[in-house]
Amino acid sequence: MAEKSCDLSFRDGRSCTPEQISQSQAGGMVVLKRIGLLMIGLIFLVTGLSAQTPKVRISAWYWLNSAPKTDWQGDFITMKNMGFTDVLLGWGLDAAGVATRISDTQKAIRLAHQAGMGAYLIVWHPHANSLTRRPEFMQIDSEGHVLKSFDVFNPEWRSTQWKTYIQKVAKAYGTEPGFSGYVFDDSFGAGGNGVVSYGAYEKKAFGEPLPTKPDDPRWDAWEKARQGWWEDWARDTTKYIRAIDPNHRHQIYLEDHFPMVVNPKRLSRLGLDFGRVAKHFDAVGGYTSARWSSDPDSGQKAAQLTPEAIEGVRKYTNPRQEIIYTFWVANQAEERLPGAAMYPTADQIKLICEAALKLGIRHIDMYGYRIGEYILKPDQTMADMVPPDPAPYKLTGQFPLKFLWDRPEVHQGLADYLKSLNR
């Protein structure tokens, strides 16, 4: 057994032997060395995290099926060179393509990572998805129409089909080095007349008759019941994801068109308390879409939507809640017209970015970089357009010269600005 070291003297007055002094000094050097190595490790860790986290995150949407696979790598390199830090990847017509085309989606994430960007995945749209429709799991509006959107209020649906789907997605991508998070798009877009839902679950849980309009008896109670069910969906959704992917650097982002989340009448019709839903997500937002024209003040008018949307969302959320600001960079007034779009210009896009940054936004998100047709033709089905692996997907119809990828006239001016935000 080694001789006990000492602190140069014993309590009874005895002095340490030379051997004990030597052992104490050696032990102290070992401790100091270990502390030094720990400090160096912490410095490298902090430096690494700082290098990976931009001052301003800048992203844009990219529909994988609006481009041949051979274009993905080049497009991602171009996006990185323009100053984008992240890309939002999805399968356009079918949000569930992230579960049916896993190998292609993983390839896209890896190509984005190689280009120096993170990749979010668009994992949900209430009705633009190919999940199997079962009548008992579908939303029904107050006029009795069975909708294409799923009844998020129904706990049986959430604990079966929904849990299976969302956890399959988390398992497929949660360990990808370039993965940034999960995006829930147009999350409250029910369809029909927007007053939902009137299925067997709601009748049993609330009791009949169910109110259908604000002046019906028990409407206030009906509104509160649905607010609770919306929160149940939010709580279950994030719980299911985090059970598989506990990495909080992988954000869970919920968004919808900003009038859907800030208009009191629409919130009442949906039975939605946006703040109660938002608190379960890492980030939320209300996106905007503008119409530009040749009017000299067109850019300023479009930029005025930005504070309206951001402040509107903040009224319903916790002050610490992160808000991602998503806005269209295609002009709705020109989207379906022939020829190249004239607007927005790079300067008009910069006006919107500046308005968001002044309000403390640190993640600016643009719709989109490369986007395809989002309406199926009568002779098309999701299964035809976005079949499961390994069948090849079909290219969606394009919006030529309307989104960022084929509007090179805005690239340089926008690139100079976006890159300046992270210098």
Instruction: Report yes or no: 101 and 91 within 8 Å, Cβ to Cβ.
Output: yes
In total, how many domains does the chain have?
A: 2
Q: Is the peptide bond before 209 cis (omega within 30 degrees of 0)?
A: yes
pLDDT given for residue 193 in this prediction: 93
| Mean per-residue pLDDT, 10-26 | 48
Same domain, yes or no, for 279 and 178? yes
pLDDT given for residue 35 in this prediction: 46
Q: Is the pLDDT score of 233 beyond 80?
A: yes
Same domain, yes or no, for 241 and 206? yes
Which of 43, 24, 23 is closest to 35 using CA atoms?
A: 43
CATH number of the domain where residue 284 is located? 3.20.20.80
Helix segments in 116-190, DSSP class H? 155-157, 163-173
Same domain, yes or no, for 315 and 376? yes
First to last CA, the chain: 59
Same domain, yes or no, for 210 and 182? yes
Residue 3: half-sphere exposure toward Cβ, Cα within 13 Å: 11
Instruction: Report yes or no: 302 and 345 within 8 Å, Cβ to Cβ.
Output: no
Distance, CA of 375 to CA of 387 (rounded, Å): 17
Distance, CA of 407 to CA of 404 (rounded, Å): 5
What are 287-306's pLDDT values in tens digits?
999 999 999 999 999 999 99
Task: Give the residue, 224 or 9, on which the prediction is more confident.
Answer: 224
| Residue 213, Cβ density class (10 Å: 0-12 exposed, 13-18 middle, ≥19 buried) | exposed
Strands 146-150 and 138-140: antiparallel
Same domain, yes or no, for 330 and 195? yes
Per-residue pLDDT band for 52 (boundaries 50, 70, 90) equals low
Same domain, yes or no, for 103 and 241? yes
Instruction: Report yes or no: 331 and 402 within 8 Å, Cβ to Cβ.
Output: yes
Question: In this structure, which amino acid lies at residue 422?
Answer: N
Instruction: Report yes or no: 195 and 149 within 8 Å, Cβ to Cβ.
Output: no
Same domain, yes or no, for 397 and 289? yes
In terms of residue numbers, what domain contains 155? Answer: 57-420
Residue with tokens 């800048």: 58
Same domain, yes or no, for 246 and 112? yes
Per-residue pLDDT band for 7 (boundaries 50, 70, 90) equals very low
